Amino acid sequence: IEAHVASAGGADGAPSAIVVAFRDLTEQRRSERMRADFVANASHELRTPLASLLGFVETLQGPAKNDAAAREKFLAIMRAQANRMSRLIDDLLSLSRIELKAHVRPRDVVDVVAVARNVIDALSPLAEERGVEVALLADGPALATGDRDELTRVVENLVENAIKYGDDGKRVEVTIATAGEGVRLAVRDYGPGIAPEHLPRLTERFYRPDVSHSREKGGTGLGLALVKHVLQRHGGQLAIESELGAGATFTVTIPAAVPAPATPALAKAS
């Protein structure tokens, strides 16, 4: 805590007014530190594929210059690395756009069931490739208040993670229900789950229990951070439950849409 003390002197030199302002420096320093860490982490994450790209360019210009087979192989790797950088930049931009809008509450009426159906359709090639069946369990439409594109990103991230990190050939369940003031969407997988010590940090940017495993799966480490920021801006919540060896459940709660007020009956003209 930093205290600023300012005093205005009276005629006799004694202070006639005193102002003490406290500023919570710990909070300010913490957020400065987080920002610096974030820039360092983002630079590091971008530099890794870039270094690999530069390495392959040098090899292609030098030792592998006339080796057609090596060239094909290296070009495929270079393409994958460039795609990785592109995904990372997309996620960084999405995150910063959402942060800019952090204090504006989105107000569209969004059917979360329709959003989930679209996401599951879009991810069906990935699910098929992994032999995963994604089931959608819902009774009817579930109307929430929010931003359709951002809520789509949330559901997409959670379902994609369940397919990627759950075990091949197992089921993923997306359950949606309206519960009181909120719409609840739960994504459950039956994969290896997450060790309890990682759970509290999972939504931090670039936090991954196993960085190389995440990279192998095409992850950027920003997916759950994005989910958290979108939900914060929506006045929603994220809960993560997991048991090692028994899978994981990610549950989001989004404020339900408020029904439009009934049109008041016209006052009878007298």
Binding site for ligand ADP (CB under 6 A): 157, 161-162, 165-166, 189, 191, 194, 202, 208-210, 214, 219-224, 248
Residue 163: phi and psi, rounded to 5, are -70, -45
Match 């719409």 to its residue by tokens: 183
Nearer to ligand ADP, 184 or 228 (CB): 228
Residue 238 vs 256, nearer CB to ligand ADP: 238
Tell me the one-letter amino acid at 165. Answer: Y
Report residue 39 as tokens: 């820039």
Q: Which C-beta is closer to ligand ADP: that of 50 or that of 204?
A: 204
Q: b vs e for 118-137, b when ≥16 Cβ sit within 10 Å of the residue's Cβ?
A: ebbeebeeebeebebebeee
Question: Least distance to ligand ADP from the beta carbon of 202, Å?
Answer: 5
- What is the spatial distance between Cα 35 and Cα 172, in angstroms, rounded to a whole number? 35
Shortest distance (Å) from residue 128 CB to ligand ADP: 18
Cα gap 77→10, rounded to integer Å: 76
The DSSP symbol for 246 reads S
C-beta of 117: minimal distance to ligand ADP in Å?
20
- Distance of closest approach, residue 247 Cβ to ligand ADP, in angstroms: 7
User: Of 48 and 59, which has the nearer Cβ to ligand ADP?
Assistant: 48
> DSSP label at 196?
G
